[in-house]
Amino acid sequence: MEIRSTGNPIHWVRTQIGDKYAELLSEIQRAAITLDLEVFVVGGTVRDWVLGKELKDIDLSVIGDALVLVDEISKTLDITIVKYKKFHTATIKTAEIEIDVVSARSEIYNYGGALPEITLGNLNDDLRRRDFSINAMAISMNTPYEFMDPLKGMTDLDKGIIRILHDQSFIDDPTRLFRMFRYASRFDFAIESETCRTAETAIAENCLTTISKERLTHEMVLILNEPNTDSAVKYLIEFDVLGIPGVYNPLILFSTMKQELKWVALMSMYEKKYYEMFFQKFSLDRQNANAIKEFINLCSILDDNDADLLNEMDIGRMYLLLKGIPRITLDAYVMCNINTDLVKLLQQYMMYTDRVKLNLNGMDLINLGVDKNQISEVIDVLIIKTLKGEISSKSEEELIVVQYVNGLND
Ligand code: ATP
């Protein structure tokens, strides 16, 4: 498909996301005319428009200084603008949408993974510094609203291909590997063969070691939040991006999974002995870090006791081994190890423990003479007896407690 002019991009913004944003863009257009600056709609916005996808955020590129443009807009509009002076970029924030305004620029990476040195430039420079051809198209907001596609992004969009723009791309910025997997899975696009080879070479050269844990974690979070995480994770493992042996498990479905299980599910596709290494690569928030630690703990408990547990199926022993493990960790284990004998046993155990509801509470135990420090021990006794079917009523529980107290007092 060849497009020379799209008409005023404000029209399609209006039809896609409404008058409010179209008005905001009109203000930007007015300010650009006042300052005699040329402004382009670029990047993901053009890509999504061509693909007919819902517009989320809007990317603009200014030939000149974006900060001057946003200063002009802020004279007339009461909106939140966050400026990044070092990079000459700004984000206009509204409740529903963000408009990223960058100064057209070229970028030089002094070493792999570095933040780039920037020099203000023209539109061509700005498109060439981008990640993939499909993200390197522009539409002028100045008449006659020319469509600019010097890197043939439209051809790749038509063919459904992700293509980098030069062979240093992944070395310069290894986060592009993750971006590539996101786009390939989101749009169900193929990765162009030369881009594939370049990615493999960059990965083999350990390009990822040049980026911080925080950036790596951020990219992984974006992958885990994609609607089609499954296919992005498949790429991630098949390209061996993390340098950890693993096998993609198609039975694990991220799309239907609770958010808090996703990191654990991802880790479970790697070999168990490398779980700790996986964990150390990221800088996780407390909730996800705990989920991973609990999962590693459960795996080592099960590994240490696997054969015994299967042979004996002693529910009391299982309870004592697993009582400290959060339910969500057990769920995660079951989800990640579908159909093994141990999982069937765990499922049985979870079914039994789910049914246990003691009639006595901590206060009842104290009233029956149990010392405060012994409460959890007595509760364990009651739960195990209930699990084994030896007791089932309040009076039977009371009898056990009385026996316990007397036994202790003897
Ligand atoms: P998404 O829908 O995932 O947000 P997007 O294309 O809008 O996609 P952004 O991260 O918002 O992605 O980036 C906006 C544009 O900036 C991209 O389309 C791309 O042209 C450029 N860009 C972003 N990150 C990089 C990068 N790491 N290297 C090169 N160009 C990038």
The residue among 139 and 407 whose pLDDT is bigger is 139
Q: Examine the domain organization and report whether 168 and 137 are in the same domain.
A: no
pLDDT in tens, 211-230: 999 999 999 999 999 989 99
Q: Examine the domain organization and report whether 232 and 330 are in the same domain.
A: no
pLDDT in tens, 29-49: 999 999 999 999 999 999 999
Domains: count for the chain: 4
pLDDT of residue 4: 60
The residue among 78 and 261 whose pLDDT is bigger is 261
Q: Examine the domain organization and report whether 192 and 93 are in the same domain.
A: no
pLDDT of residue 311: 67
Please give the average per-residue pLDDT across 303-310, as a whole number.
75
CA distance 189 to 64: 34
Angle at 166 between CA 162 and CA 167, to 5 degrees: 100
| List of residues 6+ apart from 255 with CB closer than 8 A | 227, 228, 229, 230
Checking if the pLDDT of 194 tops 90, the result is yes
Work out which ligand 1 atom sits closest to the CA atom of 182.
3
pLDDT in tens, 233-251: 999 999 999 999 999 999 9
Q: Examine the domain organization and report whether 214 and 187 are in the same domain.
A: yes
Q: Examine the domain organization and report whether 322 and 394 are in the same domain.
A: no
Last residue of a domain, one of 132, 159, 186: 159
Report which protein residue has its CA nearest ligand 1's atom 11.
Answer: 44
pLDDT in tens, 364-403: 999 999 999 999 999 999 999 998 889 989 999 999 999 9
**Best probe residue, ligand 1, of 46, 109, 131, 168 (max atoms within 8 Å of C-beta):** 131
Q: Examine the domain organization and report whether 155 and 168 are in the same domain.
A: no
Work out which ligand 1 atom sits closest to the CA atom of 59.
14
Give the confidence band of 77 by pLDDT, cuts at 50, 70, 90.
confident
CA distance 328 to 311: 25
CA distance 286 to 281: 15
The pTM is what? 0.89
Q: Examine the domain organization and report whether 68 and 140 are in the same domain.
A: yes
Domain contains 279: no
Report which protein residue has its CA nearest ligand 1's atom 8.
Answer: 44
CA of 48 to the centre of ligand 1 (A): 12
Q: Examine the domain organization and report whether 14 and 92 are in the same domain.
A: yes
Q: Examine the domain organization and report whether 14 and 129 are in the same domain.
A: yes
Domain contains 276: no
Give the CATH number of the domain where residue 197 resides.
Answer: 1.10.110.30
CA of 290 to the centre of ligand 1 (A): 31
Q: Examine the domain organization and report whether 125 and 237 are in the same domain.
A: no
pLDDT in tens, 276-285: 999 999 999 9
pLDDT in tens, 335-374: 998 778 888 888 988 988 888 899 999 999 999 999 999 9
Work out which ligand 1 atom sits closest to the CA atom of 131.
29
Q: Which residues line ligand 1 (CB under 6 A)?
A: 43-44, 56-57, 59, 130-131, 135, 173, 175-176
| List of residues 6+ apart from 32 with CB closer than 8 A | 38, 39, 62, 69, 141, 142
Last residue of a domain, one of 214, 243, 272: 243
CA of 15 to the centre of ligand 1 (A): 23
For residue 68, the enclosing domain spans: 1-159
Q: Examine the domain organization and report whether 154 and 6 are in the same domain.
A: yes
Checking if the pLDDT of 410 tops 60, the result is no
Domain contains 260: no
pLDDT of residue 246: 95
Report the chain's C-alpha Rg in angstroms. Answer: 29
Work out which ligand 1 atom sits closest to the CA atom of 56.
2
Contacts of residues 52-55 at CB distance under 8 Å and 24 or more positions apart, as own/partner, are 54/16, 55/13, 55/16, 55/17
Beta bridge mates, 60 = 41, 101
Last residue of a domain, one of 129, 159, 189: 159
Checking if the pLDDT of 85 tops 80, the result is yes
CA distance 407 to 178: 63
Q: Examine the domain organization and report whether 141 and 207 are in the same domain.
A: no
Q: How do beta strands 98-103 and 89-93 pair?
A: antiparallel
Domain contains 264: no
Other beta carbons within 10 angstroms of residue 69's beta carbon come to 22
